[in-house]
Structure 1
Amino acid sequence: MVEGTLRARVSRVVDAQWFQNTIITVIVLNAVALGVETYRDEIEGGDALFATAEHLFVAFFTFELALKLYARGPSFFRDPWNWFDTAVVAIALVPSSGSFSVLRLLRILRILRLISVMPQMRVIVSALFRSVPGLGTVIGLLLIIVYTGAVLGEKMFHETDPERFGDLGTTLYSMFILLTTEDWPDVAEPVLQQHPMAWIFFVGYIVVSAFIVLNLVIGVIVTSMQHEVSEERWEEDQELELRQHEAVMTQLETLTTQVTRLSAEVRELRAANGTLDTREDEDLSDPPRA
C-alpha cells in the first residue's frame, strides 16, 4: 500500500510539466557546456571545471532515469525512447579511459535526448520512421524516372554534349543535377544551343521528377505525421484512463481499509456492550438478600 502510494507520487512528479522543463533546461545546459569545452585550452582550470560539470550532468541524468524507471515499472521498457535514454546515460557511466575513450565522443548524443523529451520532436521523428515503407515506393518510382531520363538523354544528346551526356554514368549525374534544379541551366544550355526544341525534354523531366515525385514524398511524410499524431493522442488518452483507474483503485483500497477498521471497531463495541448487558441481567435476576 505504501509502495503504491509512493510510486503514484513519483509518477506525478515525473509527469509534471516543471519536471519536463527542468530536464530540457539541463540538456540545453549540457549542450552549451560541450560547446564551451572546445575552448578549454583558453580557460584557466578548464579541465577541472568541465570534469566537475560532467559529473553533475551524469548524476542528474542517472537520477532522472532512476525516477522514471521506478515510476513506470516494467512498462518503462516498452517505450523505445526509454531504451535510447538508457543507452545514452549508460555510455556516460562507462570509464572514458583506455579502450573506452572513444565513447567519450558519444556524449554529444545527449543533445538528441531533446527529441525523446519534447513530444513535438518525437512525433516528427516517429513519423519519418513510419514513412520509410511508403518512401521506398516513391523512391523506386523516382529511380525509374531518373534512369529513363538518363537513357533518353544519352541517346539524344551524347554527340551534342559528350561531357554531360557521353555515357550512362555521366548522364545519370546530369539527371541528378536536373532533379535538384541546382545549376540546371548549365546542363541544358549547351544542348539548347543546337537543339532548341530540347526544352521539352528538360522541362518535362524537371516537372515530373522535381515537382510531382518530390511532392509525393512530402505527401507520404505528412500522412505519416498525421497518423502519428492521432496515435500519440490515442496513447495519451489510454494512459490518462489508466492513471484515473489506478487513482480510483487506490482510493477504493483506502476506503476498503477504513471500512474494515470501522467494522472491527463496531464488532468490538458490540461485544463490549453485550458483556455489559449480560452482567446487568444477572444482577437483576439475583433476589435481594435479607
Structure 2
Amino acid sequence: MTLRSPQLNSEGYVRFSDDLLQVPIALQDAPTLNHQIEPGGGGGGDHNQNDVIGSRSSFYDHAHHRNGTDVVELSPSSGQGQTNDFLPWEMNYHEAAIFLEEGANNDKFDSHPGHPGALPAYLLVHNDWYYGLDLATSLILLSLALGEEPAVRAFRLPVAVHSTIELLALLVIGVELTLKLRWIGWGSVLKHKRTMLKCLTLAVMFIEAFIVLVRQSSHFRVTRSLRPIFIVDTRYLGGVRRFIRQIFQSLPPIFDMLLLIFFFVSIYAILGFFIFSSNPNDTHFATLFDSFVSMFVLLTTANFPDVMMPAYSLSKWNSLFFISFLCIVLYILMNLMLAVVYETFTTIERNKFRKLLLHKRKATQHAFKLLTTLQNPDQVKFQQFAGLMRYYAPDKGPRDVVLMFAYLNTSRSGSLSMNEMYRVYDAVMMTWQPQYSHIPWYHNTHESIQTVCTRLHEAINWPYFEHIVYALIMCNGFAMVYRATQPYPTLQESAFSFCASWDAVFFAVV
C-alpha cells in the first residue's frame, strides 16, 4: 500500500489545483449517506464557515508559520480563498493517511514526518518503486557471491567488474538510507538498532569494496556474510524480521534450561569418571573430558547402549546410572525445554500481535482527530472519510469507499465513531463484487441455451417434479426385480436382459 499525494514542491505543500475542489464521490444511490454531502464536509465542494477543523495537521502549522499569514482568513467568495480554505482539510487527509500507514507498517510515531520538508522523503521511501529497487539491489549483492573468488566457474567475473557492481549497489543502498535519514532524523536512527547495524555494515562493506577495487585483488572477506542483512531489511521480508526478532527475544529462558541440562550432564560426567575410570576396558570414562563427551552424546542416545556395555559387564546394577540419566535429562529436562521454547515463543508472538493491534488503534486515534470538526469532535462524516481514502487507498473507487463506510457504520448514524473507525484496516482489505442472487447462473449464455435452461428450471420448480422422480425410481426398482427373477437359458442373455433391455435403457436415459 502506498500513499499518493497531489503535486508538491521541494518544501512540501503549497497550493492545489482546482480539480481538488470537485466532489469526488456521488452518493445518489446511497440515501443513508446523502445528507452528509453538504458544504464544509471536507471531502470536496464549498466549505461551511461554521464547520471548523478540530485538529490541524502539523504540515499546515509549519506552512502557516513559514508564510506568516492565516490562509483561512481569506474571503471565501473568491476562488483563491476557497482553495486556501480547502488546503487545511487536504493536509489533514494526507497526514491522517500517513498515520494509518504507520499503524499498518508498525512504524514508530516518533519518526512521523512532522514538517513539510520531510514529506517528500517519506513519500519516496514509502513507494512501490523504492521497495522494488531496494529488493533488486539486495538480490544483486547476494548474487555477486557467484562471480567472486572462490567463484562458480561459469559465473566468474573479473575483480574490477564485481567490485564496481558492489560499489554501485552499496551506493544505491546509501542513497536510500539518506532519504530515510532525511525523513526520520539522526535521533531516531541512533535509537533504531536495525538501522544502525545496516549503516555500520554498509560503511564497512563500502570501504572494503573500494580497497578491493584499488588493489585489483580479492582477499578473505568476512563482511560478505553480512549481505543477507540488506535483503532481510526490505519490506517484503517483514515476516522474516519478526520471527528473527522473536527468536532472539526467546533465547534467555532457553539459555536457562540449557544451563540446567549442562549442569546435570556435568554432574553425571564427574560421577561416571569416578565410578568407571578404574575399569581399563571402559574407554568412555578414561578421562574427565571423555566422560563429559560420552554423557553429552548419550543425551542424543547415539552411543546407547555401547557406552553402557563395559560397565554393565562388571555389574548389572551399573545400568541404573545410565537409565537414571536418560530418564532425568532426556525424558524430563529435554521435554521441559521444548515446553519452555514453545511457551516463550507463543507468548512473545501473542504479545507482539497485541502490540501491533494497540499500535493500529493508536494510529487510528491520531487519524480520527484529524478528521473531526469542533462541532462534531466524536464523529467522522462521510466526506472526511472519502478524503482520507483518496490518500490511504487511492486504488479504491467511489463504490468501494461507500461500501467501506457502510460496513464501518454499524450504528447506521451516517457518521463514524472512534470504535467504528478502529475497523478501518479490515475494511480496506476487503474487496467488493456485485452479487446476482436473483439472476440464474446461465444469464450470460447464448439465447437458445437460456431458453432450454429456463424451461428446465421451471420444470424442476414444478410442485409435482419430485413425486415423478420418486415414481420413476420405484418403477426402475420393480423392473430390475422382475428381470432378475425371469429364467433365461444362458448367463449372457440374463445379463443382457438385465442391463440392456428397453426398460433399463429408458430409466438410464431418464
Taking structure 2 as the reference length, the TM-score comes to: 0.42
Contact 2:282/2:310 (<8 A) preserved: no
* Number of aligned residues: 252
For residue 112 of structure 1, the aligned residue among 229, 233, 246 is 229
The residue number in structure 2 matching 1:191 is 311
Query: Deviation of residue 88 (structure 1)?
Result: 1.2
Task: Work out which structure has the larger RCO, using CA pairs closer than 8 Å and 6 or more positions apart in sequence.
Answer: 2
Identity %: 20
Query: Deviation of residue 178 (structure 1)?
Result: 0.9
- Provide the C-alpha distance between the structure 2 equivalents of 1:17 and 1:206, rounded to a whole number of angstroms: 56
Counting only pairs closer than 5 Å after superposition, residues 128-139 of structure 1 correspond to structure 2 as 128-139=247-258
| 1:62 correspondence with 2:174 | yes
The residue number in structure 2 matching 1:14 is 125
Moved more, 131-140 or 11-20: 11-20
Contact 1:127/1:221 (<8 A) preserved: no
Specify whether residues 43 and 142 from structure 1 end up closer, same or farther in structure 2 by C-alpha distance, changes over 3 A only: closer
Query: Deviation of residue 175 (structure 1)?
Result: 0.9
Contact 2:282/2:311 (<8 A) preserved: no
**1:12-69 CA distance string (max 9 Å, x none):** 5534577445534432331121233122887686223212211221122112212222
Specify whether residues 134 and 183 from structure 1 end up closer, same or farther in structure 2 by C-alpha distance, changes over 3 A only: same
2:165 maps to a residue whose letter is A
1:36 maps to a residue whose letter is G
**1:160-215 CA distance string (max 9 Å, x none):** 44421234332122111112333333322333344344443323312322343233
Counting only pairs closer than 5 Å after superposition, residues 201-212 of structure 1 correspond to structure 2 as 201-212=321-332
Contact 1:92/1:104 (<8 A) preserved: no
Query: Deviation of residue 145 (structure 1)?
Result: 0.9
The residue number in structure 2 matching 1:52 is 164
**1:63-114 CA distance string (max 9 Å, x none):** 221222233333333321111111111113325439x997954133121334
Counting only pairs closer than 5 Å after superposition, residues 161-240 of structure 1 correspond to structure 2 as 161-237=281-357, 239-240=359-360
1:224 maps to a residue whose letter is T
1:151 maps to a residue whose letter is I
Let me know the Cα RMSD of the aligned residues: 3.7
The residue number in structure 2 matching 1:87 is 200
Specify whether residues 232 and 44 from structure 1 end up closer, same or farther in structure 2 by C-alpha distance, changes over 3 A only: closer
Taking structure 1 as the reference length, the TM-score comes to: 0.69
Instruction: Indicate the SS of the match to 2:179.
Output: helix
- Provide the C-alpha distance between the structure 1 equivalents of 2:302 and 2:261, rounded to a whole number of angstroms: 17
Moved more, 59-68 or 227-236: 227-236
- Provide the C-alpha distance between the structure 1 equivalents of 2:147 and 2:156, rounded to a whole number of angstroms: 13
Contact 2:167/2:206 (<8 A) preserved: no
**1:237-261 CA distance string (max 9 Å, x none):** 4554565566567778xxxxxxxxx
Moved more, 59-68 or 15-24: 15-24
For residue 158 of structure 1, the aligned residue among 264, 274, 277 is 277
Contact 2:261/2:329 (<8 A) preserved: yes
Contact 1:177/1:183 (<8 A) preserved: yes
For residue 141 of structure 1, the aligned residue among 248, 255, 260 is 260
Instruction: Indicate the SS of the match to 1:187.
Output: coil
- Provide the C-alpha distance between the structure 1 equivalents of 2:316 and 2:129, rounded to a whole number of angstroms: 66
Name the structure with the higher helix share: 1
Specify whether residues 17 and 155 from structure 1 end up closer, same or farther in structure 2 by C-alpha distance, changes over 3 A only: farther
Instruction: Indicate the SS of the match to 1:183.
Output: coil
1:26 maps to a residue whose letter is T
1:110 maps to a residue whose letter is R
1:135 maps to a residue whose letter is I
Instruction: Indicate the SS of the match to 1:137.
Output: helix
Moved more, 219-228 or 140-149: 219-228
Instruction: Indicate the SS of the match to 1:65.
Output: helix
- Provide the C-alpha distance between the structure 2 equivalents of 1:192 and 1:20, rounded to a whole number of angstroms: 65
